[in-house]
Amino acid sequence: MTCDRLVCANCAGPVSEGRCAVCRAHRERLHRESSFAGLSPAALAGLLLTLIAVALLAQRVATA
């Protein structure tokens, strides 16, 4: 989840702008907790394809 479209209940501003202490705290927590948030969709797709290739290779080695 990203904070781009979240609206703060305290100041009614976008959380991504960090207008108040509540916004800044929530934005910081989101950035700490989301490990894949910084990856682009292309990078995630590449990671998925790599994992599939490794799984198929491991299956071939196990059956041979």
pLDDT at 38: 67
pLDDT at 21: 92
* Maximal C-alpha separation, the chain: 62
Rounded Cα distance, 63 and 59, in Å = 6
Q: Which residue has the higher pLDDT, 36 or 53?
A: 53
Q: Do residues 26 and 6 touch, judged by C-beta distance below 8 A? A: yes
Helix or strand holding residue 11 (H, E): none
Rounded Cα distance, 23 and 2, in Å = 13
Work out the average pLDDT over 3-31: 86
Rounded Cα distance, 33 and 12, in Å = 23
Global confidence as pTM:
0.47
